[in-house]
Amino acid sequence: MADVVLGRAGSPVLVDLNVCAKTGRRTSDRVERRGSTMPAWVTLLLLFTVVGFLLAGAMTSRSYRVTLPLEHAVHDRWRRNRRLAWAVSLVGAGAFVWAESGGTAADGLWGGVGLALFLAGLVGGTVNSTMNNVGFRMTRQDDLVLTRAHDNFARAVAAATVEAMPPADRMDQRRPG
């Protein structure tokens, strides 16, 4: 999987290519993604202080709105699996809370089942995002980077952003005096 610089964070970006960002196959489908991102160093503040993390995150985050080529089948699979992961996690959390508040002999079993379901939803959602979705991050120079993109998409973006230079014999050789 490749990382692709799309433009400046905080400005809308339209990727007008016919290569799916996740599968690398030709597509005419477009998906708009919205969200916000912050520099990676802000996450390190969680090791020291939650309040500092929240303040730095609020001050350095940039919103993004990106329209990119993404097959609807891939996007729909990600959304469906995301809903499933949330449901499994919520059922697990509910079973755990129910088991801890009850007074029956099977509370330990239901607590373990609830905790296992919660963790399964958490792991399943993480795997789903990695396999079926693209991500966004921001560099120190405020560039918006698309992560987990297909190599064919990265090559198509690189080829589209390179401008052809005129041949050397046609360039003006005069220098200002």
In this prediction the pTM is: 0.74
Neighbour tally for 114: CB within 10 Å: 20
8 and 62 share a domain?
yes
160 and 95 share a domain?
no
Rounded Cα gap, residues 77 and 90, in angstroms: 20
58 and 139 share a domain?
yes
93 and 150 share a domain?
no
Mean pLDDT of 166-175: 50
Tell me, yes or no, whether 173 lies in a domain.
no
Residues in a beta bridge with 68: 31
pLDDT in tens, 117-145: 999 999 999 999 888 889 999 988 888 89
More confident of the two residues 50 and 169: 50
18 and 76 share a domain?
no
pLDDT in tens, 67-116: 999 999 999 999 999 999 999 999 999 999 988 887 677 788 888 999 99
Residue with tokens 């970006």: 13
125 and 141 share a domain?
no
104 and 20 share a domain?
no
1 and 65 share a domain?
yes
142 and 63 share a domain?
yes
Tell me, yes or no, whether 177 lies in a domain.
no
Percent of the chain residues past pLDDT 90, beyond the cut = 55
Residue 47 lies in domain: 1-70+135-165
Tell me, yes or no, whether 176 lies in a domain.
no
16 and 63 share a domain?
yes
Half-sphere exposure of 56 (CA within 13 A, CB side): 15
DSSP three-state, residue 67: strand
pLDDT at 84: 97
- How many structural domains is the chain composed of? 2
